[in-house]
């Protein structure tokens, strides 16, 4: 009889919205005035209830982990899926099934684009997105507990005035909100990531856009949020790390109110456009850097100082390096004069950019030399002949992840998984950089080496 009663209490406990320990239910019904015999029986019942509590707690924890796919992960790990990486040859080819759902908590599909005439979101690459079912394959990651957003924009699509026209026209905004809602529903996503680079500062040129972009963008976010919240969809935006852009592009308190997270693109601080070598994503200011604002720590503090809620800030990290061609191969330190971007990698073939797995191969197999600054302000750089590249290695990703935890931020974001060593070509394990981020923030197996390419 006692066991049956406990089982009934167990059913009541686990079917409640919040699980109530059975021992708590038993004790709450105790009658202190009963006989000694009854008190002994009651004591045995409490012990049995505590044993059941232990078993039920383990079962519930495992069940919730299976349902969410991310267990008790506190921090966001946002991974961008690029629909052009599958065109790469050989081991560089990347498809939706290459995403590790044990590491990424959120995936953003990069990208859909804005139709300049209709002011509507539209498919960018129908061959990949529709014919090869990439939309469907990414959206289906929800079955594994990963939240999938549609991304709109990107650097190339941010050229011109179409986003500005849309946000500054109430009719166009309203039409966009209605149409993008249908688009997301049609393809099975559960969120939207806005990657307009940037309000007023179109492709970093702040003289090109009107000041009204700032307010128009905020209104768009409010209107999208009003539609998304009842559907329990998530709304996010990728934003600039540059304080000069932040000041004129974003109403930060408004972003903090309406967005679920703000993805800080804290990379590309330096590149071939500088005409001298520099680090792609320094963590702290380096004395040799002429701009004290161009580092991750400063960007984080600036966004928080402008009023962004700290748990909404998601810090971006590059899975790639920025490469340069040295003007003089014997002058190969920081701030060395350059003659433009470095040569494209053997797989990615993009001048000025090397995937982490290409950098690792260059260091391990082609014997590029590596250096680190003694002050720990940034990741390593590597060089050979007239080629030079700066990047983050495993220990640098860990340091940035520890900073996220120390400041109580929302998580980390990577651009992009297909640049990490996702096939373990360098022998440091699959996804060494992403694994460093995920394990530092949310636990789980860590990379088995301290660094892979330095």
pLDDT tens-place values along the chain, 454 residues long: 444 444 444 444 443 334 344 444 444 444 444 544 444 554 555 455 555 555 544 444 444 444 434 445 799 999 999 999 999 999 999 999 999 999 999 999 999 999 999 999 999 999 999 999 999 999 999 999 999 999 999 999 999 999 999 999 999 999 999 999 999 999 999 999 999 999 999 999 999 999 999 999 999 999 999 999 999 999 999 999 999 999 999 999 999 999 999 999 999 999 999 999 999 999 999 999 999 999 999 999 999 999 999 999 999 999 999 999 999 999 999 999 999 999 999 999 999 999 999 999 999 999 999 999 999 999 999 999 999 999 999 999 999 999 999 999 999 999 999 999 999 999 999 999 999 999 999 999 999 999 999 9
E strands present in 51-145: 76-82, 106-115, 120-122
Reduced to 3 states (helix: H, G, I; strand: E, B; else coil), residue 286 is coil
Return residue ranges of the chain for CATH 3.20.20.80.
Answer: 77-442
170 phi and psi angles, rounded to 5 deg = -55, -40
CA angle at residue 93 from 89 to 96, to 5 degrees? 160
DSSP run (H or E) holding 382: strand 381-384
Calpha distance 106→146 (Å, rounded)? 5
Calpha distance 216→170 (Å, rounded)? 9
User: If we measure between CA atoms, which residue out of 263, 423, 146 comes closest to residue 432?
Assistant: 423
Label residues 143-174 b or e (16+ Cβ within 10 Å = b): eebbbbbbbbbbeebbeeebbbebbbeeebbe
Superfamily covering domain 77-442: Glycosidases (3.20.20.80)
Q: List the alpha helices (DSSP H) in 69-122.
A: none
308 neighbors 256 (Cβ within 8 angstroms) = yes
Reduced to 3 states (helix: H, G, I; strand: E, B; else coil), residue 263 is strand
268 neighbors 341 (Cβ within 8 angstroms) = no
Reduced to 3 states (helix: H, G, I; strand: E, B; else coil), residue 402 is helix
Residues annotated as part of the active site:
197
Q: What is the pTM of this model?
A: 0.85
> What's the full length of the chain, in residues?
454
DSSP 132: T
């Amino acid at each position: 009889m006692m066991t049956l009663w406990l089982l009934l209490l167990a059913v009541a406990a686990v079917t409640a919205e919040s699980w109530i320990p059975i021992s708590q239910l038993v004790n709450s019904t105790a009658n202190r005035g009963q006989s000694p015999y009854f008190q002994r029986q009651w004591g045995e019942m409490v012990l049995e209830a505590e044993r059941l509590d232990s078993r039920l707690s383990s079962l519930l924890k495992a069940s919730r982990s299976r349902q969410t796919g991310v267990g008790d992960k506190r921090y966001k790990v946002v991974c961008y899926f690029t629909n052009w990486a599958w065109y790469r040859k050989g081991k560089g080819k990347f498809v939706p099934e290459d995403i590790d759902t044990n590491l990424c908590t959120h995936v953003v599909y990069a990208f859909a684009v804005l139709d300049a005439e209709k002011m509507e979101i539209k498919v960018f690459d129908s061959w990949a997105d529709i014919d090869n079912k990439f939309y469907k394959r990414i959206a289906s990651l929800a079955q594994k507990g990963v939240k999938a957003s549609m991304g709109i924009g990107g650097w190339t699509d941010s050229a011109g005035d179409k986003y500005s026209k849309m946000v500054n026209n109430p009719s166009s905004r309203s039409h966009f909100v209605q149409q993008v809602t249908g688009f997301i529903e049609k393809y099975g996503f559960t969120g939207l990531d806005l990657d307009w680079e940037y309000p007023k500062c179109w492709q970093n040129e702040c003289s090109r856009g009107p000041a009204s972009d700032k307010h128009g963008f905020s209104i768009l976010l409010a209107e999208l949020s009003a539609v998304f919240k009842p559907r329990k969809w998530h709304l996010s935006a990728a934003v600039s790390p540059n304080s000069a852009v932040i000041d004129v592009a974003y109403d930060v308190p408004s972003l903090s109110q309406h967005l679920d997270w703000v993805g800080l693109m804290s990379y590309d601080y330096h590149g071939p456009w500088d005409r001298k070598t520099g680090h792609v994503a320094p963590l702290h200011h380096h004395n040799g850097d002429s701009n004290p604002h161009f580092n991750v720590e400063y960007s984080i503090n600036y966004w928080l100082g402008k009023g962004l809620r700290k748990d909404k800030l998601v810090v971006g990290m590059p899975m790639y390096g920025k490469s340069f061609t040295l003007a003089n191969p014997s002058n190969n330190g920081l701030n060395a004069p350059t003659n433009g971007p470095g040569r494209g990698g053997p797989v990615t073939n993009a001048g000025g950019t090397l995937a982490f797995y290409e950098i690792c191969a260059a260091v391990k197999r082609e014997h590029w030399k590596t250096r680190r600054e003694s002050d720990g302000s940034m990741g390593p750089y590597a060089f050979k002949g007239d080629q030079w590249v700066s990047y983050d290695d495993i220990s640098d990703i860990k340091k940035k992840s520890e900073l996220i935890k120390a400041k109580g931020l929302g998580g980390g974001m990577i651009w992009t998984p297909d640049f990490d060593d996702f096939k373990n070509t360098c022998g440091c394990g699959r996804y060494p950089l992403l694994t460093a981020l995920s394990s530092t923030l949310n636990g789980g197996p860590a990379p088995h080496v301290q660094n892979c390419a330095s």
